Amino acid sequence: MDIPRPEKILVAMFQLSNGTNQPLEYEDIVVRSWELFPEEFGLRKYVHKHPDSSDQHKPLYGPLKDKGFVLSGNKKFRLTEKGIAYASELVKAMKGGKAANAGNSDRLSRNNEAQLKRICETDAFRLFSLGQKEKILDTDFYTYLGVTVRTEKHEFLGRLQTVADAVADASRISDNPKFAVTQPLHEFLCQQFKGIIERNRITK
Amino acid sequence: MSKFKITETPHVIDDHLLNIIGNEFKFDHAKGLAEWLKNSADAYNREEVNDEDQYIFIRMKQKTSVSPARFECIDFVGMTHDEIETAFKRWGDPQAASRGKSRKNILGGHGNGGKFYMRQMFAESRFITYRNGLLNVFGFNENKKYGFDSGYEKKKTKLERAIELADLEEVLKHLPRVLKNRLEKGQTGFTVVTGEQPEKLRGRNNVRSIVQRLRVHPQARRLLKTKQVYAIVDNQVQKLEVESIPPKEGFEGPFEFDVPAILKRGSADIELANDKFSAGKLILNTSAEPFTRLGDRASLNCIDIRGDIGVIGSYRMNELGHIKNFTETEFVYGECSCPILEDPKEDCVRNDREKLVDTDKTLALLEWICTKVNELADKMAEKSTEKQRVEELRQSSFFNEFLNSWMRKNKFWEKLRGEIFGGQDEGNSFGGTGGGGAVGNTSNNGDGGEPQAGEDGNDGGGAGDKKQKGPKFPDVRLSDVDSDPLGLCDTVHCDPRHPLIYQRAEDVSQSIYWINSQAPFARKILDQYGSEHTRWREYMFQRHIDILVKQSVYEMERREPQLSAARIDNEVLDRVTRRIYESAAEDTSLGSFLFTESLAGLSRAEQDQQVASIPEA
């Protein structure tokens, strides 16, 4: 089964970390990706002899962070809970030849459930449930996402995606009445603080 | 049915009843002149004269050695003998003002105000009226009995003579040519209402004060807006216009509220709108100055109840009910319409149109207006307190400046970074070697957050020894007081729920931090001890330390993706706070800053001296 390039990096990270969120060195990721997928990550002309270390930057700092699968710091990378769950599905799918169905299960994933429970404890949720949405502050929005104003933009976008996925899953699957509030809350917050979101989307 | 059948006969009423009713009017001259103005306006309106052609003159002459003081109201319509007989002479006739025509645009109500003013407030009064070449003089004598002048009843008179008798030569100079032509052609006439020897004209209740109060009288304001009303005081002419009232800053308004269709009063539901009468509206405005400071304009500090045509009642703020914030309500004025009050079945409108008749409807409406005035006044009070607090805090901005300087001069950031993270460079940013390695060559540019190096992955691997710029030296400011260095707004307003240290997204890259002066504990210190107190200085000092700790935590995370509690505890909390407090204990300038009460009330020069006394590290 063929999977896209960023997902291949995830699989490499999953194997390297033994399915945990331990920090990984960039060089290790480069080598393991190449070992697993030489055609994809080999140096041109030396595909099976040497890895190409320039191929993994974009997916790691871009889509994988933006989707909330990976966190980075000081040139080290680690999988998030969401990243681990997704990579695990990918590995299973690769073994069994079935497409990964993370996000399409009929049960809330443990990670999403944890996200939703966390959201239900936030001030943003409380104020929204009390009909006092006008009192929600920018800092409440950051807390809702599990970030701060200082959070790096790709990580911010990754958290936004992770929370959005959890909320979407809740409205699709869960019959928990508290979780049902998260969908309109999420829509309200994204509208109310679209300036902050846009800033993170466009700021260099 | 009774077995008796009464034969109807006209009432016989003693003139004393007029005294009783007249006394109820409690006239002051501004109110009385407003009644005369309304009568003149009604005369024009009955003739369907456009507002811009309705010229009305209030002529006032002070007492001289040869003549008594005299107030007059002049219009250029005139009355016939028949009108005097059928309308003017009748007391209490609601049809008097309309003369049987449509009441649309008719301001007069029960047909009493102007007449009672003539009767009650002057030693003698009369009007000279000229129409269709006939002159009539009708008035009240010194016995307050009315009647025609024996020589001038339906007296055929030439215009020139009528003008001379009414002393109108000077007034005519201020009339537009077209109106003079109509007068000369007999297409219109004139009426001069005169009151001689006005009562209560003494002390501060002088002619000029009366004119000023007339300008703001609720019954006159709308007329002054639309008609051509002039005052002639001792031969000086001025057009009377409604003064515009600049609004209170931050409360420019107008604040509009729909009157609810149903209001609760006790257990009863009071209907204030129905299919026949639409819902009313309350409009509140503010004044930049409290009305009590505006002398004669103080009477504007009220809510006028507006009827279909004019004001049908007017209430000073303290007449509305329980006012919570008297100071703030002194800035408020407004008007309320509520058409159902004019439903003839309800009978809510009084004879003098000064106050409404007390009914469940009117009382419920007034109570509701009172709550709305209170709500607005509360908001104004809140803002005013806030402004006062900010002003107070502004005095203490210097303390923050001092701490910024102290931190900067002691190079805390640089030293701590060097110690904790093994940085190399000093200056205005954190030092340290860049991790380089695989990630790219974009520097952090001192944004104090996550490393941005090579974030888009396009930059290829770095050598690993590139120096990264650290976060800029923190610029700590007081929320709601200090100016925004980025110029995005005047100052950053924090909510009490914001963290003690607040940053906007834009502040991060510039290392700007805001101490939340609205945080509950900060407020408590300020309220209990004031902004000059050492407790407040210590509070600010603590927040500067928070910022240092915060920045250190982020710096640590930037270098180590997995932070441990032990590392934060040992390296950041213990080390950072210990270093700062050790320095604080050693440094006499900071010691004096934190412990000396006498820093309160320093002049700007003394404050600068204090900052300059901080020794360079």
Question: B323 by DSSP, 3-state: which?
Answer: coil
Q: Could you report the per-residue pLDDT of B199-242, keeping only the tens digit for each?
A: 887 777 788 888 888 887 877 887 888 889 999 998 889 999 88
Tokens of residue B94, six digits: 């609601």
Q: Is the pLDDT of residue A153 over 70?
A: yes
pLDDT digits (tens, 9 = 90+) for B50-81: 888 899 999 999 888 888 899 999 999 999 99
How many angstroms separate the CA atoms of B283 and B299, rounded? 17
Q: Contacts of residue B421 in chain A, CB cutoff 8 Å?
A: none
Q: In this structure, what are the phi and psi dihedrals at residue B489, rounded to the nearest 5 degrees?
A: -160, 175
Chain segment B436-456, per-residue pLDDT in tens? 333 333 333 333 333 333 333
Take residue A129 and report the two structure tokens written for it.
Answer: 């449930």
Query: Do residue B495 and residue A137 have CB atoms under 8 angstroms apart?
Result: yes
Cross-strand bridge partners of residue B349 = B356
Looking at residue B460, its pLDDT comes to 35
Average pLDDT over residues B493-522: 92
A60/B457 touch (CB, cutoff 8 Å), yes or no: yes
B125, B139 Cβ separation under 8 angstroms: yes
**Terminal CA-CA length for chain B:** 110
User: What residues are paired with B190 via a beta bridge?
Assistant: B130
Q: Smallest Cβ distance to A75: which of B435, B495, B505?
A: B435
**Within 13 Å and on the Cβ side, how many CA atoms surround A25?**
6
The H-assigned helical ranges of B107-231 are: 113-121, 159-166, 169-172, 177-184, 207-216, 218-226
Which pLDDT score, from 0 to 100, does residue B309 have?
62
For B556: left if phi > 0, alpha if psi spans -120 to 50, otherwise beta; the answer is alpha
Q: Is the pLDDT of residue B308 over 90?
A: no
A139 touches chain B (CB under 8 A): yes
Residue of A nearest to B443 (CA): A204
Contacts of B457 in chain A (CB under 8 A): 56-62
Provide, rounded to the nearest whole percent, the portion of chain B with pLDDT above 70. Answer: 82
Buried b or exposed e, range B256-289, using 16+ CB within 10 angstroms: ebebebebeeeeeebebbeeebeebebbbbbbee
B616 interfacial to chain A (CB closer than 8 Å): no
- Output the pTM of the full model: 0.55
Amino acid at B92: G
Least confident of A22-26, A109-113, B260-264, B463-467: B463-467
In angstroms, how far is CA B617 from the centroid of its own chain?
54
Buried b (16+ CB within 10 A) or exposed e, B412-425: bbbebbbebbebeb
Q: Which of residues 16-35 of A touch B (CB under 8 A)?
A: 22-23, 26-27, 30
pLDDT of residue B599: 63
Tokens of B549: 């700790």
CB atoms within 10 A of CB B410: 20
Q: In Å, what is the CA distance from B1 to each residue of A118, A141, B4, B6?
A: 83, 80, 8, 12
pLDDT higher than threshold 70 for residue A101: no
| pLDDT per residue as tens digits for the range B330-351 | 899 999 988 888 887 877 877 6
Angle between helices B360-395 and B397-409 (to 10 degrees): 40
Nearest to A149 among B440, B455, B505 (CB): B505
Beta carbons of B558 and A137 less than 8 Å apart = no
Contact (CB<8Å) A62/B456: yes
pLDDT tens digits, one per residue of B112-138: 788 888 998 899 999 999 999 999 999
Query: Is the pLDDT reported for residue A103 higher than 70?
Result: no
According to the model, what pLDDT value does residue B169 have?
Answer: 92
Q: Does B460 touch chain A (CB under 8 A)?
A: yes
ipTM, 2 decimals?
A: 0.77
Span B158-190, pLDDT tens digits: 999 999 999 999 999 888 998 999 999 999 999
CB atoms within 10 A of CB B81: 18
Cβ contact A24:A16 at 8 Å: yes
Q: Is the pLDDT of residue B610 over 80?
A: no
Mean pLDDT over B149-157 rounds to 92
Q: Which of chain A's residues have a Cβ under 8 Å away from the Cβ of B448?
A: 150
Residue B426 clears pLDDT 50, i.e. is over it: no
Summarised one tens digit per residue, pLDDT across range B73-107 is 999 999 999 989 888 888 776 666 555 555 445 55
Question: Percentage of residues in chain A with pLDDT exceeding 90?
Answer: 48
- pLDDT class of B429 with cuts at 50, 70, 90: very low
Q: What is the pLDDT of residues B562-578, one digit of tens each?
A: 678 888 888 888 888 88
A152 in reach of chain B (CB within 8 A):
yes
Distance, CA of A16 to CA of B179 (rounded, Å): 101
- Residue type (1 letter), B474: P
Residue with tokens 């924090």: B494
CA nearest to B590, candidates B514, B538, B539: B538
